[in-house]
Amino acid sequence: MSEPISVGDVVDGARLLALGLRPKQIPSRDLVYAELVKRATEDDAFRDLTEAIAEGLGLIVLAISPRTGVVLGPTDDSVFEQKFDDYARRATFGERRDLERVLHGVAHLAIAALGFPRPDDLANETYVGRVSVEQVDTVVREACTMLAARAAEAEEAGDPLEDAPELERVWRVYSRRPEATRTKDGRLAPSTTRGVIGKALRFLVEQGFLVKMSDADGGTYRTTPRFQVQVRELAAERAFAELLALQVITVTDPSGSLHTASGADGRFSDV
């Protein structure tokens, strides 16, 4: 796009962003989308224009490629930003609502960490992770047990962890919530930990980050290239790194089959 910017160029840039806002749309299934992505990857001026339009709309372009399409993230206070309070809203007030936020935040963090548990997984475009409701719940409960033990050991040694109150709050909130109970009509109660995880996984499917594979283990899902891009951004967060550092997440199959520690005997179970 060496010529001056035209109205048509602006329309094309905006159209490309509009396609990126459709989470399940991918270039391989849309000729117009594929052509616009190709143009953005080959024409720096057009990509700069597209990113400038995105900035004006309160969006950040995280990636543009034939594999991922356009992956967008909201800026602070953007109209496109999903408020976590809204996501985790329940008919509760005060402390209870705050506790729900903790549960939902832990669920999303654990899904991301299980989907791409090694740094190489985020760089490898052929890697596909798999997660399930049962697996996420098992891993988070193991992490809670390890957090509790770590806090207790530090307390006994007279050197309590600086962030112990926050860590203790996380593991106590999660470990005290039942794994799974049923409503009167047989559905999984949304207030249980597996209900919270199921909600998170379904939301990520709607956003084009996961694809459901089966109903096994409460629901089993595979990751998408869009999710890989998003988790790269999350990987810089301290909480993500700390969850991985607990070493309750292990991968033994490079094809993407995840294994998680299960029980004190140290054995592993396939997902």
| Sequence-ordered strand ranges (E) for 107-209 | 130-132
- In this prediction, residue 167 carries a pLDDT of 57
pTM listed for this prediction = 0.76
Interval 105-130: pLDDT, tens: 888 888 998 999 888 898 898 999 99
Tally DSSP H helices, then E strands, for the chain: 11, 8
- In this prediction, residue 30 carries a pLDDT of 95
- In this prediction, residue 45 carries a pLDDT of 95
- In this prediction, residue 260 carries a pLDDT of 36
What span, in angstroms and rounded, lies between the C-alpha atoms of 143 and 137?
A: 10
Other C-beta atoms closer than 10 Å to the C-beta of 33 total: 22
- In this prediction, residue 149 carries a pLDDT of 78
Regions of the chain short of the pLDDT cut 70: 1-3, 83-99, 151, 154-169, 181-190, 236-271
What span, in angstroms and rounded, lies between the C-alpha atoms of 105 and 88?
A: 9
- In this prediction, residue 248 carries a pLDDT of 59
Cβ proximity of 198 and 210 under 8 Å: no
- In this prediction, residue 16 carries a pLDDT of 97
Other C-beta atoms closer than 10 Å to the C-beta of 264 total: 7
Q: In 21-132, which ranges are continuous DSSP H helix?
A: 31-42, 44-56, 84-87, 95-115, 119-123
- In this prediction, residue 227 carries a pLDDT of 94
What CA–CA distances, in Å, run from 187 to 48, 68, 184, 197, 203? 49, 35, 7, 14, 18
Of 266, 234, 250, the C-alpha closest to 135 is 250
- In this prediction, residue 270 carries a pLDDT of 31
Cβ proximity of 74 and 59 under 8 Å: yes
| Beta strand pairing call for 249-253 and 268-270 | unpaired
- In this prediction, residue 100 carries a pLDDT of 73
And the tokens for 17?
């962003």
